[in-house]
Chains A and B, each alone.
Chain A
């Protein structure tokens, strides 16, 4: 296992949060500001005005169904635009406040178009892109939305998918291949709150890989940087088993590679919704 001199193995340069006006996205913004401050990175809020939504709002029969009330309300393009502008302005205010509070460089960018396209257009290698599991909507958290899925698959940057509940203390790195190891470990160490705080490394079961070898490689990698970690060999690489292991280890974030069999083989669609804390997928 060798350290790749790519952006992906390097420090987080920018934290990009795909925001809307929901409370969940604001709280993610706050966490992102904290992370950016700790990693001396920039913070960018990306607010995408969905072109398709604006178009559909222009239809004569367009109606909005309230998420909580289930009430049916007429909408029109002007109204949606006004609302989006108000939300963008509010988010700008929030971001400015956070930037001042955390003494970071923070800004909001408003873009119009398709969410995935815009996110990909704005994301760069070395970014950490934070998204909601299925947008920031409180429903549909049980599955991963198409936006998050596309960004995980296609983007040049790492993606942190929020959606469940946080609360643990350990950053968990799932190291299941020698190739993916350095990027995963590099991201995991950056997410670790404090240097002395626990970094837990999950190793694949024997049937799925070579945990002994991976452990040695990981230990070497950590030793070279003066770091330590605790190890745990998974009994199964199934999404449920990984989720249970994360909970048992008190995980506050799980870092995994896009190339990991857990994502590639079992599919991120199962693993990500199963894990309660945020999942960071590195490319």
Chain B
């Protein structure tokens, strides 16, 4: 008969005396990260390798301390790496809607911006001063005079020539005409006819010649005007060179080795020249407000938009994007409303997190990225192309066609580190082919750490470091030992310790709080226990209600007596971070049938697939063990009584099998026992989850009714996971409650019935009176009944026809 586990097997304590300190004040701080060697190796590899696509995905549960660890690792590494350059957008004088990008050594960007602002300021006063000068004005006047004079002289020459020949040059409504004059009067046709023929002929000839000359002069006028304009341009250039040349030259000397800056400065000089007329118009005050606006508009184009300023950055930047929307990642182009229209220019280009992190590291919560519309696609596009193209969603998806910019893309050289849980990693790896190409390095977080003397010491240092970092009260060694034990309970394994930094830190904070409430300077073991109890108390309203229902016999659970076909199964309910165990009555029925075992949960669609699988396995175990050579003529049903929600998991399959075997063997089961464990087709009992909660759940019911030696049967393989509560351990010590480990269903049946399960003898038969024999006999009986019934049915038609 299986013996109950010794009280020592129910809990693996940590000996406070093994901790070499009095309080955590004496403990050396833990600088390295505990138990995450694999993740750290991956981080080392992922951040070191320069090839594209080797971005990182750090996977682990929430609250495991991924963010803090990755950030600390990167911030330690980043300062020794080169500081990335500054990036500026400047006006593109050839294609104004495609702003140019300037890459400058770190710190130069703000200098250039300042220099260009100063240049604009200087131009603001220097250009008007130049065009306002007496020198310029008088030279322009001279040019105009020169043009006028040239025109005048040509006309005058013709006019004088005409007059010398007795011909007048007259204006018509749209031009000129020549007419002969005699005695100061223009000749009319009659007078003209009176002239001698020779004279007439001569006049006509002369007028014809004059007409040709005048035509020539009129044709020259556009050319002269053009020449005059060219001279004016020359003059403007000369004046601009004078006003601006030395400013530009001075700046060019400050950026001698930078082609982009040199080219931009040359473009500015040319642009000033191209816009002389606008400068003059603004300055002459013909339309002061419009002119000034245009003037400011021109000067604004000479300045720089410093997109990324790394002047203060030491080493590579480490950026965490808290709200990774499309715009926050890749930047945006803002617009300003002007007289009802939305306008933009290169000054309104705003950087995104990718720009800020360029040359370093960008940390992103993958869940947040996936929840922001289009953010994931935009991130992938940037990483695939190796550059950031700032585009609004309206542009990308052609929702709107406002005039916008196409800034030159910024080349990307950064590592993106995604942080998220495993589920998302595997989901993306499965369904997004780009993901595997872009995030080739996974840094998988360990969730626990093996227990042992050495790791206890390290864990104690981790506790001390967390307490210190959080500014908590120092912890006594007994308190640390209790935290270590609870760390094991959180890991659901007596041989491991949780690495879930979030939960651990919460426990320390709360324990420190309760110590403070109790007026203690240091945290003691009882404060840790109070913290644990309070955590449970705050969460266990539903558990209390559930137990109350059982105590009031509204939910029927027997904890004494024996019943055929009825067993106490154990389930775990997870409510947020709190889980508790709760017994369930499982019943089975059996009658003659076609070999079906009906899972009522599945039939009502309340059972999940794993639960159904468990029931199918036990059905086939039954058939294979007891009816290998004949048909299983059984119609059985299994139900979770008073269960109105969905049931999932196979941890009740051993209990279900026991209920069924009990019915078949007609052997009553002890109701003082509860069973948990899954069963395989060979009848072996397999490990389940939440063993501590399940045992404690049944214990709580029994304890309230009065402990009389009740117990729980658990899989042998779960013994190592036991970290049971103190009251359970004390009851076990007193012999009031027992935990039985079981390897096979036979062991469980023996425990529940007090009868021998029985093994087949050499002849293949189970011992008389054993559970297995009784089951086999009953199945044999059913099989025969089935055969008889079948034979009778086959004969009856014949009978009727005869």
Contacts and interface: CB of A to CB of B under 8 A. Distances in A.
Contacts of B207: 61, 63
A65 B215 contact: yes
Nearest to A70: B218
B143 to A, nearest CB: 13
A220 B168 CA distance: 51
A135 B189 CA distance: 26
Given A52-B186, A61-B204, A143 B175 contact: no
Contacts of B170: 50, 52-53, 56
Interface in A38-77: 50-53, 55-68, 70, 72-73, 75
Contacts of B151: 139-140, 142
B148 A141 contact: yes
B148 A67 contact: no
B211 A52 contact: no
Interface in B122-138: 137-138
A65 B152 contact: no
A68 B174 CA distance: 9
B94 to A, nearest CB: 34
B145 A139 contact: no
Interface string B163-184: 0000010111111111110000
Given A50-B170, A72-B215, A142-B145, A58 B189 contact: yes
Contacts of A111: none
B176 A65 contact: yes
Nearest to A60: B189
Interface stretch (A29-37, A79-87, A173-181): A79-87
A183 interface: no
B138 A142 contact: no
Contact of A72 (B155, B168, B211): B211
B175 A65 contact: yes
A118 interface: no
B187 A139 contact: no
A55 B187 contact: yes
B186 A244 contact: no
Contacts, number: 104
A74 B187 CA distance: 17
A59 B179 contact: yes
B150 to A, nearest CB: 9
Nearest to B156: A143
- Interface SS of B by simple majority: helix
Nearest to B153: A142
A137 interface: yes
Contacts of B606: none
B214 interface: yes
B139 to A, nearest CB: 13
A248 B142 CA distance: 16
A245 to B, nearest CB: 12
B186 A67 contact: no
A222 interface: no
B174 A64 contact: yes
Interface residues of A, number: 39
B185 interface: yes
A247 B155 contact: no
B211 A167 contact: no
Contact of A56 (B145, B148, B179): B179
B172 A59 contact: no
Contacts of A142: 145, 148-149, 151-152
A42 B673 CA distance: 124
Interface in A143-178: 143, 167
B204 A52 contact: no
A20 B174 CA distance: 10
A110 interface: no
A21 interface: yes
A66 B179 contact: no
Which interface residue of A58, A73, A87, A135 has the most chain B CB atoms within 10 A?
A58
A167 B281 CA distance: 12
Contacts of A73: 175
Interface string B549-569: 000000000000000000000
A53 B177 contact: yes
B173 A65 contact: no
B189 A66 contact: no
Contact of A139 (B155, B179, B215, B219): B155
B116 to A, nearest CB: 34
A2 to B, nearest CB: 39
Interface string B656-692: 0000000000000000000000000000000000000
B171 A137 contact: yes
Contacts of B168: 52, 56
B177 A64 contact: yes
A65 B177 contact: yes
A57 B177 contact: yes
Contacts of B138: 244
B189 A140 contact: no
Nearest to A273: B148
B311 to A, nearest CB: 48
A67 B155 contact: no
Nearest to B189: A58
Given A50-B170, A140-B151, A70 B215 contact: yes
B309 to A, nearest CB: 46
Interface in B359-395: none
B218 A65 contact: yes
A73 B176 CA distance: 10
B524 to A, nearest CB: 92
B193 to A, nearest CB: 9
Contact of A64 (B156, B172, B185): B172
A243 to B, nearest CB: 8
B412 interface: no
Interface string B785-798: 00000000000000
B192 interface: yes
B31 interface: no
A159 to B, nearest CB: 19
A241 to B, nearest CB: 11
Interface in B544-592: none
B221 interface: yes
B188 interface: yes
B253 interface: no
B197 interface: no
A58 B186 CA distance: 11
Given A50-B170, A61-B204, A167-B286, A55 B188 contact: yes
Contacts of A56: 168, 170, 177-179, 186-188
Contacts of A140: 151-152, 155
Tell which of B148, B171, B284 has the most Cβ of chain A within 10 Å.
B171
A227 to B, nearest CB: 25
B211 A63 contact: yes
Interface in A190-213: none
B188 A64 contact: no
Given A55-B187, A55-B188, A143-B152, A67 B175 contact: yes
A87 B152 CA distance: 27
Interface in A1-27: 20-21
Interface in B206-233: 207-208, 211, 214-215, 218-219, 221
24 contacts: A53-B171, A53-B177, A55-B188, A56-B186, A59-B179, A60-B189, A61-B208, A62-B179, A63-B178, A64-B172, A65-B175, A65-B215, A66-B174, A67-B175, A67-B218, A70-B215, A70-B219, A73-B175, A84-B173, A139-B151, A140-B152, A141-B148, A142-B151, A167-B284
Given A60-B192, A140-B155, 17 more contacts: A52-B179, A53-B179, A56-B170, A56-B177, A56-B188, A61-B204, A63-B207, A64-B176, A65-B218, A67-B174, A70-B218, A72-B215, A75-B177, A135-B171, A139-B155, A143-B156, A167-B286
Interface of A: 20-21, 50-53, 55-68, 70, 72-73, 75, 80, 83-84, 87, 135, 137, 139-143, 167, 244, 247, 273
8 smallest CB-CB distances across A and B, nearest first, come from A56-B179, A142-B148, A70-B218, A52-B186, A55-B188, A58-B189, A142-B152, A67-B175
